[in-house]
Chains A and B, each alone.
Chain A
Amino acid sequence: MAYDKFEVLTSTAYPLPIENVDTDQIIPARFLKATERKGFGDNFFRDWRYDSEGNAIPDFPLNDAKYAGSKILVGGKNFGSGSSREHAAWSVYDFGLRCVISSFFADIFRNNCLNIGVLPVQVSPDFAQKLFDAIEADPKTEIKVDLPNQTVTLLSTGDSESFDINGYKKGNMLNGFDDIDYLQNMKEEIAAFGETRPF
């Protein structure tokens, strides 16, 4: 499923300074019943955004007008732990975000994000704290995520840090390519390998 290319993104950000946010919070299991990939943004953080009566909780950052329209979410340490549901990454994308910044990501969530065009940016705990502090001081603080140069910059102060991404995945994100296209083009090699497997 090709997605829009990701090059440089400059945006305000939603702050979510809670640790160990699991994918059951990002999208609760009861919203996984679709057979098509659409509309998951509505249920993004459903039980943190709405009370049991379905009323929006106004001071939850994702509902807070002062952050509205941000394309980046800055999350606490160990973001995306738990279930492998790709629906969590889809809900990030469908909510309108293209980048999640955290000081630590759970493996499967990070991988799922990269596969669907959401860039996970891992920064140092100190830098993450700087981002939270800056957003708290001014919700209109802009963050620049520069994929070609692999840097993330807090525009208000000029503070910047580089981040890791392997060259292959970086190329995919820059071009909007995905792994399935790559694998489709090496099916003969795979078939030959498959012949050698004992079971």
Chain B
Amino acid sequence: MSKTLFDKVWDSHVVRKIEDGPDVFFIDRHFIHEVTSPVAFVGLKNRGIGVMYPEKTFATADHNTPTWNQHLPVADPLSANQLEALANNAAKYGISHWGLGHRNNGIVHIVGPENGITLPGSTIVCGDSHTSTHGAFGAIAFGIGTSEVEMVLSTQCIMQPKPKKMRINVNGKLGFGVTPKDVALYIISQQTTSGATGYFVEYAGDVFENMTMEGRMTVCNLSIEMGARGGMIAPDEKTFEYIKGRKHTPKGADWDKAMEYWQTLYTEEDAEFDAEFTYNAADIEPMITYGTNPGMGIGVTKSIPMAEEVEGGIATYKKSLGYMKFNEGDDMIGKEVDYVFLGSCTNGRIEDFRAFCSIVEGRQKADNITAWLVPGSHKVVDQIKEEGLDKILEAAGFVLREPGCSACLAMNDDKVPAGKLAVSTSNRNFEGRQGPGSRTLLASPLVAAATAVSGVVTDPRTLLEEVTV
């Protein structure tokens, strides 16, 4: 039978098939961070077992780290304790560890690809649902729980039934001011927050083919927000170009051998999917969310749907709008905003900072806006400086913070206060996600920038000059 890209990678990693049960599934690369790994190490200790392949696990501190004055001791004792546990566990078992202040430190899903740990055709897991990011390289990558972190540490395997397969095609040319984030938010708004549950998604079509690796990472990152276990894109020349020569990428003869394998990673023409959806690029405009899950998104120029127009229960919908302090039929444009957050594993890459700068250059941050600009890694910081983007930001009244997950999940001090409204380039607008009582509008770096200089939700196309090619 003809195989999909997903079949090829999944099937080649099955160690054992259990009848009426899951597959024993081999993991090539395992990322750990300070929040979801400590209990797994306690489990190893209690069982008296070790780490089977320490060289296949990579530790990074990101979820709980401050984004200001990282050279000082971490003030919160609980956070400090988790960071110390990660460092100690990594040292004890011989796992590579990029802790706070390390040159390679940053958000796990940003430093993995940057260092060539993420490879096409590999299987990658981490105790973090946005592990789906790495699917941009043609890897099968997904989030796992802490029990599974312990399984991977001790046996390099997890036990999972093979998910169903979905293909999402987006064809055509994206409009002016429409970014990969908008493509993802549009797809999620069509699928709803649970439409792809039980599936692993392959993204196909010329929109993804034409996307940069950074853009593909943004799209795959958000796969989980429609319930999918992960999403992936077939590797191509752009993929190989991106990974070549990075720290952990195969070199010399190993590279050639790997390339031979990677060239086989595509979906065969008559391969079958369990579900398939096709969208038109021309239907997508800059997006923004208005509710409390990422499926509640609309074009930025649109108004909030009436309860009767949406799928799902009316009580749940009204509860969501009640939390947001919004009304059915409200316009999104012009809503007064308090905070703008640029960063996270979704939009904390160099391209996102370039996009933000393309709007704020020559303008000034609005007085009512508190802006947190948090690069995803030290490498992103370096590149921002190399390109002089830091100067543009500074001149426009913005301050660059230090790398970490930051206000995406507000485990550190970067918390949006109760009742305040944030336009955020991150991935979740759940109740209290950015701090207890905080209200979040998810959007692209362009929408975030336009809002940051205007003080209200703004269509970025009104501030950009259209370049006709």
Asked if B451 is at the interface (CB within 8 A of a chain A CB), the reply is: no
**A158 proximal to B (CB < 8 A):** no
- For the complex, what is the distance from the CA of A168 to the CA of B28, rounded to whole Å? 25
Complex interface residues of chain A between 143 and 199 (CB less than 8 A to chain B): 166-169, 178-180, 182-184, 186-187, 189-191, 193-194, 197-199
Judge if B160 is at the interface, Cβ distance under 8 Å: yes
Chain B neighbourhood of A18, CB < 8 A: 315-316, 319
List, in ascending order, chain B residues with CB within 8 A of A91's CB: none
Tell me whether A182 and B159 are in contact (CB under 8 A): yes
Known: A81-B194, A84-B129, A107-B227. A20 touches B155 (CB 8 A): no
Cβ–Cβ < 8 Å partners of A32 in chain B: 35-36, 63, 411
Contact present for A28 and B432 (CB under 8 Å): yes
Number of chain B residues whose Cβ lies closer than 8 Å to a Cβ of chain A:
81
Q: Is the CB of A33 within 8 A of B151?
A: no
* Interface residue A1 (Cβ < 8 Å from any Cβ of B): yes
Point out the residues of chain A lying under 8 angstroms from B78, CB to CB.
33-34
B156 touches A33 (CB 8 A): no
One of B41-49, B339-347, B441-449 contacting the partner:
B41-49
- Chain B interface mostly: loop
Contacts of B24 in A (CB 8 A): 183, 186, 190
Bound-state Cα–Cα, A52 to B437, Å: 8
Number of A residues whose C-beta is below 8 Å from B? 59
Given A106-B194, A168-B20, A25 and B147 contact (CB-CB distance below 8 Å): no
When the two chains form their complex, are residues B22 and A168 in contact, meaning their CB atoms are under 8 A apart? yes
Contacts of A83 in B (CB 8 A): 128-129, 143, 409, 428
- By a CB distance below 8 angstroms, the chain B residues around A29 are 63, 409-411, 433
Query: A residues within 8 A CB of B436?
Result: 28, 30, 47, 52
Given contacts A18-B316, A76-B316, A179-B159, contact A86 B409 (CB under 8 A): no
List chain A residues, Cβ under 8 A from B197: 78, 104-107
Number of A-B residue pairs at CB separation under 8 A: 208
CB-CB nearest in chain A for B122: A199
Contact B428 A82 (CB under 8 A): yes
As a 0/1 sequence over residues 104 to 144 of chain B, the CB contacts with chain A under 8 angstroms (1 = contact) are: 00000000000000010010000111010000000000011
A81 near B227: Cβ-Cβ < 8 Å: yes
Cα distance A17–B319 in the bound complex, in angstroms: 12
Per-residue CB contact flags for chain B residues 352-391 toward chain A (1 = under 8 Å, else 0) read: 0000000000000000000000000000000000000000
In the assembled complex, B211 has its CB within 8 A of some CB on chain A: no
Q: In the complex, which residues of chain A have a beta carbon less than 8 angstroms from the beta carbon of B148?
A: 111, 115, 179
- B433 pairs with A33, CB closer than 8 A: no
Mark out the residues of chain B between 137 and 176 whose CB falls within 8 Å of any chain A CB in the assembled complex. Answer: 143-148, 150-151, 154-161, 163
Contact mask for chain A residues 47-91; partner B; CB cutoff 8 A; 1 contact, 0 none: 100001000000000000000000000001110011111110100
Docked-complex contact A22 and B20, CB < 8 angstroms? no
Q: Which residues of A contact B161 (CB under 8 A)?
A: 166
Name the contact of A199 in the complex, choosing from B21, B160, B229, B250 (C-beta under 8 A). B250
Residues from chain A with a CB closer than 8 A to the CB of B19 are 167
Contact A198 B15 (CB under 8 A): no
Establish whether residues B313 and A76, one from each chain, have CB atoms under 8 Å apart when the complex forms.
Answer: yes
CB distance from A113 to the nearest CB of B (A): 9
Give the docked Cα–Cα distance between A37 and B145 (Å): 13
Closest approach, in angstroms, between the C-beta of A164 and any C-beta of chain B? Answer: 11
Q: How far is the CA of A47 from the CA of B430 in the complex (A)?
A: 12
A24–B431 CB distance below 8 A: yes
Tell me if B252 counts as interface (CB < 8 A to partner A): no
A168: contacting residue among B21, B43, B254, B433, CB under 8 A: B21
B249 to chain A, nearest CB (A): 9
- Cβ contact within 8 Å between B15 and A184: no
Fill in one digit per residue for B312-338: 1 if any A CB lies within 8 Å of its CB, else 0: 110110010000000000000000000
Instruction: Tell me which of B79-87, B269-277, B453-461 binds A.
Output: B79-87
Task: Select one of A33, A84, A190 contacting B157, CB under 8 A.
Answer: A190
Closest to B26 in A: A193
Which residues, 1 to 44 on B, are CB-close (under 8 Å) to A? Answer: 15-16, 18-22, 24, 26, 28, 35-36, 38-39, 42-43
Let me know if B193 and A84 touch, CB within 8 A: no
B430 interface neighbour in A24, A86, A89, Cβ under 8 Å: A24
Q: What are 23 A-B residue pairs whose CB atoms fall within 8 Å in the complex?
A: A24-B428, A24-B430, A29-B433, A33-B411, A78-B194, A81-B194, A82-B224, A83-B409, A86-B36, A86-B145, A87-B146, A105-B197, A106-B197, A107-B229, A108-B129, A111-B145, A112-B145, A112-B146, A166-B21, A168-B20, A186-B16, A193-B26, A197-B26
B binding-site residues for A, Cβ under 8 Å: 15-16, 18-22, 24, 26, 28, 35-36, 38-39, 42-43, 46-47, 49, 52-53, 63-64, 76, 78-79, 81-82, 85, 119, 122, 127-129, 131, 143-148, 150-151, 154-161, 163, 193-194, 197-198, 224, 227, 229, 250, 254, 257-258, 261, 293, 312-313, 315-316, 319, 409-411, 418, 428, 430-433, 436-437
